[in-house]
């Protein structure tokens, strides 16, 4: 059975450090925006708030499963593309996979 699509949004927050984190860059609001857009599209694809995906330096990071699709430096302008990627072909089509994830 093929893996079900899922959107994972990094909501990692680093306290007291000098390195950036996805949460500091608005990933919690981004996760809510992606959920709302998926609902509006009638999609059952779930959104999971995850711990660090090792991309906080270029965050917020959003991973679309199944497949090696990782969006970095995500903003509200990217929500439509993320939603399309999550819906089309079980989550893998429509975006360019991050080369580090192949």
**pLDDT per residue as tens digits for the range 11-46:** 999 887 778 899 999 999 999 999 999 999 988 899
pLDDT of 76: 94
Cβ neighbour number for residue 92 with a 10 Å cutoff: 18
Domain that holds residue 35: 6-101
Q: Tell me the pLDDT tens digit for each residue of 43-81.
A: 889 999 999 888 888 999 999 988 778 999 999 999 999
Residue 21 lies in a domain: yes
Q: How many domains does the chain contain in total?
A: 1
CA distance 9 to 71: 10
Q: Is residue 85 predicted with pLDDT exceeding 50?
A: yes
Q: Are the C-beta atoms of 95 and 68 separated by less than 8 Å?
A: no
Which CATH number goes with the domain that contains 76?
Answer: 3.40.30.10
Residue 1 lies in a domain: no
Residue 91 lies in a domain: yes
């Amino acid at each position: 059975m093929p893996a079900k699509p899922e959107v994972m949004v990094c909501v990692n927050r680093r306290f007291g450090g000098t390195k950036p984190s996805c949460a500091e860059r608005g990933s919690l609001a981004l996760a809510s925006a992606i959920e709302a857009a998926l609902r509006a599209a009638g999609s059952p694809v779930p959104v999971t708030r995850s711990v660090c995906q090792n991309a906080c330096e270029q965050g917020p990071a959003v991973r679309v499963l199944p497949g090696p699709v990782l969006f970095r430096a995500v903003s509200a302008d990217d929500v439509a593309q993320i939603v399309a990627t999550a819906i089309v072909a079980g989550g893998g089509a429509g975006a360019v996979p991050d080369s580090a994830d192949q």
